[in-house]
Amino acid sequence: MRKDIIAVFLIVLIVAVLIGGTDIQSVDEYYLTHIDDITPDSETVTLSIRCDTILDNYDDLDPTLRSEEFVPKDGVILPPTEYVLRHGDTAFDILDRATRHNKIQMEYQGEDRTGYGSVYIKGINNLYEYSCGPLSGWIYRVDGEIRNIGCSKDTLRDGQTVEFIYTCDLGRDIGNSTVTEGSDMP
Amino acid sequence: MSGMGKRSFCLLICLIIVVGASAFPASAYSYDDPMTISSGIVAWKKATLGIDPGDLLINADYSELAGSSSGDWYTIALSRLGANESYGTYLSALKAFVESLYAQPDGLGKVKATDLHRISLAILAAGGDPLSEVKNISGDSADLIADGVYDRGRVSPLGQQGINGWIWGLIALDSMRYAVPEGAFYTRDDIIVGIISRQLADGGFALGGSISDPDITAMAIQALAPYYNSEKSYTYTSDVTGKQITATVRSVIDTAVSRLSELQLGTGDFGNYGGGSSESTSQALIALCCLGIDPFTDERFIKNGNTVFDGLMRYRNSDGGFAHSVTDIDDGSGVRAGESNSVSGRQALCAMAALYRQAEGLRTLYDFRPEHSRAMRARLASLEDGIKGIGADTDNAELEGLLSAFYSLPEGERSYVRGYAALSDAARARGIDIKKIEDDTDIIEDEGGTAGGETKYEFTDSDRAALNALPERLTTAHYTEVLILLGKIELCDDFDGREEYLRRLTSAKSDIEAIQSEIDDINDEVKEKLYPFENLSLKDRKTVNSIAERYYALSEYDRTKVYRSEDILKAKAKLDGELRSVIVGAFLTIAAAAVVFFLGRGIYMRCHKKERELTELAEKDVEKDK
């Protein structure tokens, strides 16, 4: 009879393990695969990507881009989404991770080549600088304020909201005129 | 610098008389300063890059910036200052970079036109030829002036990025006074009109809006300057008012120069939104030099005794570099506007090069043609002397003689006659038919032009050592070095072992290119196949493993060129974990089944044991009964 009890216990145990999941990972692996999971302790930021200014300037848009594939009907390329803020993350890191994870096209110029010591965002979702007139391109805001420093120099803090917004008028169409004009030597 | 004093003194005197300005320079600075200030900028730049003060700035590491704003402008400015640098190194890297642009799937379509313009200037500065230096994917010579300027419209309008495209297109086109062939997408006049039709009501130019911007106004002047002495009238529709205008480039420049003068701040500098910036001031200084205006004496550009040069010096820091702003604002990002930075530095260096060239009587900053011969200098000087002598008592025959001398100059040299406008005005006032004189005058070409010889190179021992030091297993880190050695050996005459060196370097080049394309491929695969993570399942295990294998097959250095490589490890860890779960799950299921089976069998056996015993007992009883 004792054998039976042990056997029943074994079965219950195995079934419990099977139901409970058999994820067996080392600590490193666990950390690696769960790094972007949001937990109550996570520091996070919220990111969104928009191009609604193009909707008001559709005539200036490069004809090859006049499609919902590039300019969504509501101008929203990525709705506000919460991302885990890893230590030292910049606005660029979050953008890079978000566009990769969501398979949104993004092209940038590396830090060493711009001369500003920061990366320069050339295009997102195939919308590039000058795609919608000579004053168009990508700018970004942190907590509602347009930032004039490069996004890879801009270290974020817990709870901040980052918006990458397409402007057709050097930021003036977003209600801000403090964007320095791109009138430097090319 | 030794021979510069006298010449610059002469030039200074000429300019003072030409512009009729004060004979007492107001500035504390002079034409002797540009070289000192340039050295300061270069010293600062070397310090930021960790280059020894005694070494060249343009080395193999620096050449990795070839084709970018941050690399090209220093190269252009240093070359125009006549600085001794390793330009061949830069040219090799530049060539490889442009060839990679041509090899993109959509060619030059996504490359900004102004990037091509800047690159053309950089190729010239580094001693190359924008018409033939670079090969396109089919291996033919690519013409950057055609593809970047007069035929750019076949890919995308030259003005796609605004007035900048027209301005820098014209600067690139005139860098060697390239001719525009018949049948080109744009004529030279189209490009000139592209600029002048955008002149604002206030006389200046801007990227957008109706208020002129000092930088763009200055750059428009720089581009138009070669046409200042042209009598040609352009009829065009203003992009601003929509009205038809007929004007010469000279009249456009004159109003732009007046506007630029108005934009100058009381401290001598220029800027946007009320505040000054070193970059705006550098551009203004370059514009004045392109027109041959002396910034030290021309009263239009001296405010409260401060010249443009004084204005620019306000931004100079003790480290030798230049800052964007005089006030050191810290916006919380750690970037301080009062600190020396690369953008301010490169523009100030260009301004110093422009000033130095003016002092030395060399061609203007963006005019890369061979320098004037002695004979040409003499012709220009005597014509300028004659123009200076024009007064009320000058008779018509004398004016006509001066005009003939002017029109006997090759067209491309006429822009170098300072003060021509005074001659033109005087002739017009007397009713002299300038056009007729132009038509009647034969052009006398410049015979003493300086002919550029083929550059030859000797493969040195240190080149040999560098070649032999290349490791067996190459990485992309060696690419620039290989290109440089290859560039050198291609310039060498045949020598013992050249063939072998050439073969080794060519194969090294293609090996590294293969590694690079593998890296590019892995980057594409990662982007394409690994996201979103949640959707990865065991089906994708083969793909993920193959990406991981390819990643590990790269050298340690090349692995750093794979973007977000942690995601490869992450995907692999996730799927390995899942596979392990499946195996363990299967194993446990089998184990559970086995336990159930044995348990069941045990119970069954126990139940039947009694039955058997009873049967056996019964059988025994039967036997007993017998």
Using CA coordinates, name the residue in chain A closest to B602.
Answer: A4
| Distance in angstroms between the alpha carbons of the first and the last residue of chain B | 141
* Residues of chain B found within 8 Å of residue A10, distances taken between Cβ atoms: 592, 595
* Both structure tokens of B248: 């010469």
Q: Are B280 and B308 in contact (CB under 8 A)?
A: no
Q: pLDDT tens digit string along B505-548?
A: 999 999 999 999 999 999 999 999 988 888 888 899 999 999 99
Pairwise pLDDT comparison (B224 vs B25), residue with the higher score: B224
Q: With a cut of 50, which residues of chain A have pLDDT below it?
A: 181
pLDDT class of B16 with cuts at 50, 70, 90: very low
Residues of B in contact with A101 (CB under 8 A): 531-533
Q: What pLDDT shows up at residue B434?
A: 94
Does residue B329 surpass a pLDDT of 70? no
pLDDT at B21: 40
Q: From the CA of B273, how many Å to the nearest CA of chain A?
A: 9
Q: Tell me the pLDDT band of B389, cut-offs 50, 70 and 90.
A: very high
Give me B592's structure tokens.
């559970």
Which range marks the domain in which residue B112 is found? Answer: 61-186
Q: Please say which residue of B520, B537, B566 terminates a domain.
A: B566
Task: From chain B, pick out residues whose CB is under 8 angstroms from the CB of A36.
Answer: 533
Contact B337, B324 (CB under 8 A): yes
Q: Cα(A57)–Cα(A168) distance, rounded to whole angstroms?
A: 7
Mean pLDDT across chain B, nearest whole number?
Answer: 88
Q: Which residues of A touch B531 (CB under 8 A)?
A: 100-103
Does A18 sit within 8 Å of B112, measured CB to CB? no
Neighbours of B573 (CB within 10 A): 21
Q: Is B389 on the interface with A (CB under 8 A)?
A: no
pLDDT score recorded for residue B481: 83
Q: Residue A123's pLDDT is what?
A: 94
Reported as type and span, the H/E element at residue A81 is: strand A76-84
Average pLDDT over residues B159-185: 96
pLDDT at B292: 95
**What per-residue confidence (pLDDT) applies to B45?**
95
Q: Which residues of A touch B564 (CB under 8 A)?
A: 96-97, 100
Q: Which of A69-83, B91-105, B209-223, B316-330 has the lowest mean pLDDT?
A: B316-330
B576–A14 C-beta distance less than 8 A: no
d(CA B260, CA B204): 7
Q: Looking at the domain assignment, is residue B314 inside a domain?
A: no
SS3 label, residue B228: coil
pLDDT beyond 50 at B17: no
Contact assignment for B160 to A130 by CB distance below 8 Å: yes
Beta pairing, strands A44-50 & A137-142: unpaired
Residues B425 and B473 in one domain: no
User: Residue B199, Cα to own-chain centre: how many angstroms?
Assistant: 26
Contact assessment for residue B356 and residue B164, using Cβ atoms and an 8 Å cutoff: no
- Å between B127 CA and nearest CA of chain A: 21
In chain B, what percentage of residues exceed pLDDT 90? 61
pLDDT tens digits, B276-305: 899 999 999 999 999 999 999 999 999 999
Residues in chain B with CB shorter than 8 Å from the CB of A184 are 215, 279, 343, 347
Distance CA(B423)–CA(B11), nearest Å, equals: 19
B577 at interface of A, judged by CB pairs closer than 8 A: yes
The average pLDDT across B472-493 equals 85
Give CA separation, B379 vs B304, B391, B403, B588, B619, in Å.
38, 21, 13, 100, 143
Residues B555-565: pLDDT tens digits? 999 999 998 88
8 Å CB contact of A128 and B70: no
Contact between A125 and A104 (Cβ < 8 Å):
yes
- φ, ψ of residue A105 to 5 degrees: the values are -60, 140
Please answer yes or no on whether A11 and B213 come within 8 Å at the CB atom: no
Q: Is residue B227 part of a domain?
A: no
* Three-state DSSP class for residue B603: helix
Which amino acid, residue A24? I
Q: How far apart are CA B405 and CA B620, in angstroms?
A: 148
The model's pLDDT over B606-626, given as tens digits with 9 standing for 90+, comes to 888 888 888 888 888 877 776
Q: What is the pLDDT of residues B37-58, one digit of tens each?
A: 999 999 999 999 999 998 999 9
Query: Cα separations (Å) of B345 from B41, B267, B333?
Result: 6, 20, 21
Interface contact B65, partner A, CB < 8 A: yes
The CATH classification number of A42-174 equals 2.170.130.30
Split into its structural domains, chain B has a count of 3
pLDDT, one tens digit per residue, over B201-258 is 999 999 888 899 999 999 999 999 999 999 999 999 999 999 999 999 999 999 999 9
- Would the CB atoms of B161 and A129 count as touching at under 8 Å? yes
Contact predicate B174/B367, CB 8 Å: yes
- Does some domain include residue B213? no
Amino acid (1-letter code) at residue B271: G
Instruction: Quote the CA–CA distance of B212 and B480 in Å, as a whole number.
Output: 43
Once rounded to an integer, what is the mean pLDDT over residues B395-408? 94
CB contact, 8 Å: B106 with chain A?
A: no
Q: Tokens in use for A173? A: 């169409």
Task: Evaluate whether residue B244 is within a structural domain.
Answer: no
Write a three-state SS string for A6-69: HHHHHHHHHHHHHHHCCCCCCHHHHHHHHCCCCCCCCCEEEEEEECCHHHHCHHHECHHHCCCC
Put simply, the answer to whether A153 touches B334 (Cβ < 8 Å) is yes
d(C-alpha B576, C-alpha B572), whole Å: 6
State the amino acid at position B2 in one-letter form: S
- Say whether pLDDT at B182 is over 90: yes
Least-confidence region, from B98-107, B343-352, B444-453: B444-453
Lowest mean pLDDT among B118-122, B149-153, B433-437, B582-586: B582-586
Q: What is the pLDDT of residue B248?
A: 97
Q: CB pairs below 8 Å between A and B: how many? A: 161
Higher-pLDDT residue of B592 and B67 is B67
Q: Is residue B37 part of a domain?
A: no
Are A114 and B69 within 8 A, CB to CB?
A: yes
Same domain, B558 and B501: yes
Chain A within 8 Å of B394 (Cβ-Cβ)? no
Select from A11, A128, A134 the Cβ nearest to the Cβ of B110: A128
Q: How far is B288 from chain A (nearest CA, A)?
A: 16
Let me know whether B411 and B508 are in one domain. no
Residue with the two structure tokens 């072992």: B497
pLDDT of residue B19: 40
Residue ranges of the domains in chain A? 2-31, 42-174
- Minimal Cα distance from B212: which residue of A? A183
> Which of B186, B216, B249 corresponds to the end of one domain?
B186
- pLDDT range class, residue B601, cuts 50, 70, 90: confident
pLDDT tier, B322 (very low <50, low <70, confident <90, very high otherwise): very high
**Cβ atoms B150, B111 nearer than 8 A:** no
Note the pLDDT of residue B335.
53
3-class SS at B208?
A: coil
- B467 and B427 share a domain? no
Residue B123 lies in a domain: yes
Burial of B496 (0-12, 13-18, 19+ CB in 10 A): exposed
Residue ending a domain, choose from B186, B205, B239:
B186
The DSSP result for B100-124, as a single string, is: HHHTSTTTTTTS-HHHHHHHHHHHH
Q: Is B244 helix (H, G, I), strand (E, B) or coil?
A: strand
Does B343 sit within 8 Å of A135, measured CB to CB? no
Q: B235 pairs with which residues across the strands?
A: B246
B348 → chain A, closest CA residue: A185
Residues B68 and B167 grouped into a single domain: yes
Report the residue of B281, B570, B587, B590 to disrupt the A interface, i.e. the one with the largest count of A CBs within 10 Å. Answer: B570
Q: Distances in Å between the alpha carbon of A17 and those of A6, A21, A24, A34, B147?
A: 16, 6, 11, 21, 67
Q: Test B69 with A180 for CB contact under 8 angstroms.
A: no
For A127, the closest chain B residue by CA position comes to B110
Q: How far apart are CA B147 and CA B8, in angstroms?
A: 39
Parallel, antiparallel, or unpaired for β B134-135 and B141-142? antiparallel
Q: Under a CB-based contact definition with an 8 Å cutoff, are residues B311 and B379 in contact?
A: no
- The reply to whether B325 falls in a domain is no
Hey, what's the torsion of the CAs at B402, B407, B413, B414, to 10 degrees? Answer: 60
In a domain, B193, yes or no: no
Q: Long-range contacts for B487-494 (Cβ within 8 Å, ≥24 apart)?
A: B487/B88, B487/B89, B487/B91, B487/B92, B487/B95, B488/B88, B488/B457, B488/B459, B488/B463, B489/B459, B489/B463, B491/B88, B491/B455, B491/B456, B491/B457, B492/B456, B492/B457, B492/B458, B492/B459, B493/B456
Q: What chain A residue is nearest to B216 in terms of C-alpha separation?
A: A183
Cβ contacts of B589 on chain A, cutoff 8 Å: 14, 18
pLDDT tens column, B412-468: 999 999 999 999 999 999 999 999 999 999 999 887 555 444 556 778 888 888 888
Instruction: Give B-chain residues touching A109 at CB under 8 angstroms.
Output: 68
Nearest to B265 by CA among B294, B211, B307: B307
Say if residue B109's pLDDT is above 90: no
B408, pLDDT greater than 60: yes
Mean per-residue pLDDT, B573-587: 87
Measuring CA to CA, how many Å separate B577 from each of A27, A28, A36, B573, B587? Answer: 12, 12, 17, 6, 15
